[in-house]
Amino acid sequence: MIRPTLCLTALLLAAPALAQSALAQTTLAQTPLATQDGVTVAAQTVATGFDQPVLLIAPPGDPRLFIVEKTGRIRVIDGGTLTPQPFLDIANRITSGGEQGLLGLAFHPGFARNQRFFVYYTDRDGAITVAEGLASDPGTLTPLLTVPHDQANNHNGGWLDFGPDGLLYIGTGDGGAGGDPWGNAQNPDVRLGKLLRIDVDSAKPYAIPPTNPFATTGGAPEIFALGLRNPWRAAFDGDTLYIGDVGQGEWEEVNVLKTTDAGANLGWNRTEGRACFATATCDQTGLTPPVHVYDHNQGCSVTGGHVYRGAAMPALQGRYFFSDFCTGNLMSFRLSDGQAQDVVGMAEATASLGQVSSFGQDSAGELYLLTLDGTVAKLVPAPN
């Protein structure tokens, strides 16, 4: 049985659609959250009135903020102003109920020159689709990758981004239901429950990097890593990728991979967190365990975030921030020797932010939080 609180996009759907509003003044809702590493952090409201926001992203070197709404639009904040026209509106070509919808956006590393961007959505048949567009004509999209998703409508994943190697990484869910009953996540012949990697700059529609481990072993050649359940937000920090993978019934986890870790197995559904799933014992040989786990006494649905690399709070640089959708608790840790160290929970975030649906990062490395009620807030140092 699927726990309804586990999947945050289902909860997003349950919220009433919010009317679009003008950009909020940044003097509003600046509430201290916690003191960490000598810095008192506050959430400063940047904008409100978005319709189920699931991502905030900025092109490299670009001051604009692009906000992805699950219902099919991408909105833009430019120079502190919410532009009246969306950057993209594909509501008529997606399925947006439950955990489906417009879920991801990535800009090509050379976006300033070539204007190429990529989106991740569920199409009218419910299939996971990765498509390419041009900012000069954003409504014209060319599908690059389609992954059938007809066993159930949940666990669609929804993340994609370029790594420092210039390749496009894509995180898919395991195909849905509960417990991965079809065994998709451990099956190298299907692209569900995987981290995929493709080269969009070589052959058309894309090329398989030669280092992908499944290119010569009979499995789906795009697969970079196995064993994901439903990755809800991942982020690169240099060549290190942090992945928040939503758990089943007991454990939430954060996984970390390097771009050199092709062939990694993150465990699901042999394991949930660091524990055997649905069995007393299991073979964990060859698995890459998560760097951090927490049980369902502390939350029930991890929301992956980013490593802070901004200039406004230099003491926090290198600290990974993430949240739990059910509690709204903002959490962070530092990665050291392959493990999460100095793990801190900031429970004060619960009252001021509510349910954190996603994180964002601008081109200067500053961090943002997106909430269920359609608010975008920026993490800033609290005023003295």
pLDDT tier at 383 (50, 70, 90 boundaries)? confident
What span, in angstroms and rounded, lies between the C-alpha atoms of 54 and 105? 10
Which residues, listed in sequence order, are joined to residue 47 by a DSSP beta bridge?
A: 376
pLDDT at 24 over 60: no
As to burial, measured by CB atoms within 10 angstroms (0-12 exposed, 13-18 middle, 19+ buried), residue 275 is middle
Mean pLDDT of 146-150: 96
What span, in angstroms and rounded, lies between the C-alpha atoms of 371 and 328? 9
R_g of the chain, CA atoms, integer Å: 19
Mean pLDDT of 375-384: 88
As a whole-number percent, the residues of the chain with pLDDT over 90 amount to 78
What span, in angstroms and rounded, lies between the C-alpha atoms of 201 and 259? 18
Mean pLDDT of 140-153: 95
SS3 111: helix
Mean pLDDT of 90-112: 96
Q: What are the tens digits of pLDDT across the range 42-79? A: 888 999 999 999 999 999 999 999 999 999 999 999 99
Q: Output the average pLDDT for the chain.
A: 89
Instruction: Extract the tokens encoding 231.
Output: 């990755």
What span, in angstroms and rounded, lies between the C-alpha atoms of 179 and 302? 17
Q: What are the tens digits of pLDDT across the range 307-329? A: 999 999 999 999 999 999 988 88
Mean pLDDT of 271-287: 97
Domains of the chain in sequence order: 8-381 (2.120.10.30)
Q: What pLDDT score does 34 carry?
A: 72
pLDDT tier at 348 (50, 70, 90 boundaries)? low
As a whole-number percent, the residues of the chain with pLDDT over 70 amount to 89
Greater model confidence, 170 or 10: 170
Backbone angles phi, psi at 364, to 5 degrees: -95, 0
pLDDT at 16 over 90: no
What span, in angstroms and rounded, lies between the C-alpha atoms of 236 and 309? 11
Residue with tokens 């100095």: 342
What span, in angstroms and rounded, lies between the C-alpha atoms of 188 and 224? 10
CB 95 within 8 A of CB 65: no
pLDDT at 2 over 60: no
pLDDT tier at 33 (50, 70, 90 boundaries)? low
Mean pLDDT of 232-247: 98
Q: What pLDDT score does 11 carry?
A: 43
Sort strands 264-265 and 223-226 into parallel, antiparallel or unpaired.
Answer: parallel
- Closest to 361 in 3D by CA, of 99, 158, 58: 58
CB 232 within 8 A of CB 154: no
Q: What pLDDT score does 104 carry?
A: 98
